Amino acid sequence: MGVISFTSDWNRHDYYAGMLKGKIIRMVPGASLVDISHDIQPFHTLQGAFVLRQAMFEFPEGSIHVFLVNQGYSDEINPVICKYMGQFILAWKDPVLGLLFDREPEFCMEVTQDFFASIKSTYKNVTFENNGFSPSFPEMALFPLIIKWISDNPDNRPGEHEQISIGESPWQPVIQEGSITGRVIYIDSYKNAISNITLGLFKEMHKGRRFEIFVKSNHYKITELSQSYGEAEPGDLIALFNSAGFLEIAMVQANVGDLLSLEQGSSIKIKFYD
């Protein structure tokens, strides 16, 4: 059996992840269950998507990544299954999922109530205690059966009526002539601020031109890129592209997030000059 990973804001000290994983392992015996993180800040889907994006491509093809940054139950929000580069993502429908993909996924399909009923009928003999639906914990009733269905049918593709488009995430950088305007999408445990500006986009716009990086509008300016933290002195404000390929703003041996009051959504702008 394959690998099933979990990314959530459920907090590792609570029982929710344990309940869900216990039910999944009974439905999909032999699967390897791996925690990516249960310490995403509550309701911060953007932070969760960034964490999952960095980890998922190290997993083997066919892995199922369960993304459960809780939005609360709503009749209007259904689970979605996306297949991208041979891996599956199971999550609640949310435009933030667009941050996981550099190009169009192989497919995304919405698990509507009718579609879930058809899945459930396939496994009508698979019953467990506490198998009922609870609006306060809908994942317990929905996600284990969906995961079993994906595991049993990895080559299935959605029908035309089931396929959907996640759409472009509103957190993509804005490209204008001569500039890229991005935002901080993640503050790591060292309080370094990671933006949504990728190295590929920078190279595409740079073309050997002089540039300036403005942090929080025009409050702070950086005029060159560093290759590592060791190139600068303690307390220096630097910009570099990290191992994940995203522009990172840091302060050597200091806490740039708190010192500059950076947070998710803070502006990062690069201006290029001919």
- State which amino acid sits at residue 16: Y
Cα–Cα distance measured from residue 40 to residue 45, given in angstroms and rounded to the nearest whole number: 8
Cα–Cα distance measured from residue 184 to residue 247, given in angstroms and rounded to the nearest whole number: 9
Which residues does residue 247 pair with via DSSP β-bridges, in sequence order? 241
> Are 19 and 10 within 8 A, CB to CB?
no
Cα–Cα distance measured from residue 59 to residue 7, given in angstroms and rounded to the nearest whole number: 14
Cα–Cα distance measured from residue 197 to residue 199, given in angstroms and rounded to the nearest whole number: 7
The tens place of each residue's pLDDT in the chain, 274 residues long, gives: 699 999 999 987 888 899 999 999 999 999 999 999 999 988 888 899 999 999 998 999 999 999 999 766 677 789 999 999 999 999 999 888 988 988 889 999 999 888 888 888 888 776 555 455 566 788 888 999 999 999 998 888 777 667 888 866 777 899 998 999 999 999 998 999 999 999 999 999 999 999 999 998 777 999 999 998 888 888 899 999 998 899 999 998 889 988 899 998 899 999 999 8
For the chain, report the end-to-end CA distance as a whole number of angstroms: 55
Structural domains in the chain?
A: 3-152 (3.40.50.10790), 174-273 (2.40.30.90)
